[in-house]
Amino acid sequence: MSAQKKHFENHLSYVLAAAHRSISKSLSDRLRKHGIKIEAWRVMECLDAGERLTMGQLADRALVNPPTLSKLVDRMVLDGLVHRRVADEDHRQINLLLTSLGRMRMIQIREDVDAEDQNLAALLDETSIDLLRKALAKLS
Amino acid sequence: MSAQKKHFENHLSYVLAAAHRSISKSLSDRLRKHGIKIEAWRVMECLDAGERLTMGQLADRALVNPPTLSKLVDRMVLDGLVHRRVADEDHRQINLLLTSLGRMRMIQIREDVDAEDQNLAALLDETSIDLLRKALAKLS
DNA sequence: TGAAACTAGTTTCCAAGTCAAATAAATTGA
DNA sequence: TCAATTTATTTGACTTGGAAACTAGTTTCA
């Protein structure tokens, strides 16, 4: 058994939380000037990705709980970024759609997110990043 | 340039958030029966690790903001898990100490956390975990 | 059919988090 | 020495997030 493990800081949940904390902090600092939160950016990217999404699917992909998404979307509607439409097939479902303002703003925001990603990529080599991505994917 | 990157789900910030979300969910589900949150567990482990810590140092290591820590500690004091003591050298500082109840409870909780870690470890091989730990550490 | 069971999304309510200001102790330097 | 500044922590007003309850639409099957 590999040594270590005396220190609780070796727990995967700890290093993961630490990395997540630091990365979301710098990303959300950068998004602050757009007046938007990381989750809202994720919602917009999800919507832009093509298929029509219901609130439920969106909650899964944007990594937020349904009640939180509901409230987030309220604000985004108010800001004119998205709009709700009752789904044709199943009237309980809501399809969320990006407005053209939403798409425009998303593209601007994406520039900043990509820039932030460059910073991040500088900390690790290409292959580590790939390994990291794959390892993390297995944990989700 | 490696293909991919069409999908925003490849952003490191996304995979990291997804993994963090899923892992903290299962861990906090498990801690629920102890009536404790992940952050409180981290605080207790920090305190148990030996050196006397001030609120500031604790906030850093337990990955919570100072005001949040202050309030979390209020509750933990109420629950009899820790107690505050004004530091001798600098009277602005507070040293937080585990009570013996706190230590006892921490040891019980640690069993569950370790069990959860076993589950996690089963998803990845030993070397991936090491790589992951190292890569994440660079990001923090 | 149509009542019962189920599902999607929203709302409510409360616990917990944030930001900025307040407090209090330590340090600086005129 | 003591006012001004800096630092550590807490407080207070406000916001956010989550669990559970609620509403409304859909499916099941007797």
What is the C-alpha to C-alpha distance for residues A82 and A44, in angstroms, rounded to an integer? Answer: 8
State mean pLDDT over B18-26.
96
Residue B5, pLDDT score: 52
Q: When comparing pLDDT for B117 and A67, which is higher?
A: A67
Question: What's the pLDDT band for A4 if we cut at 50, 70, 90?
Answer: very low
What's the CA B130/C1' D8 distance, rounded, in angstroms?
Answer: 36
Q: Does B123 touch chain A (CB under 8 A)?
A: yes
Q: Which of A5-19, A32-46, A63-77 has the lowest mean pLDDT?
A: A5-19
User: Taking the CA of residue A71 as centre, how many other CA atoms within 13 Å lie in the half-sphere pointing to its CB?
Assistant: 5
Q: Residue B100 is inside which H or E element, if any?
A: helix B100-123
| Apex A30 CA angle, A66 and B40, nearest 5 | 55
Percent of chain A with pLDDT over 70: 96
Identity at A129, one-letter amino acid code = I
Query: How far apart (Å, rounded) are the C-alpha atoms in residues A42 and A60?
Result: 11
pLDDT band at residue A137, thresholds of 50, 70 and 90? very high
The domain segmentation of chain A, as residue ranges, is: 36-139
Q: What is the pLDDT of residues A43-52, one digit of tens each?
A: 999 999 888 9
- Please report the pLDDT score of residue B3 as a whole number: 42
Least confident range from A113-122, A124-133, B5-14, B68-77: namely: B5-14
Scan residues 58-117 of A and list those with Cβ closer than 8 Å to B. 61, 63, 113, 116-117
For chain B, the average pLDDT equals: 93
CATH 1.10.10.10 is right for the domain spanning B8-139 = yes
CATH 1.10.530.10 is right for the domain spanning A36-139: no
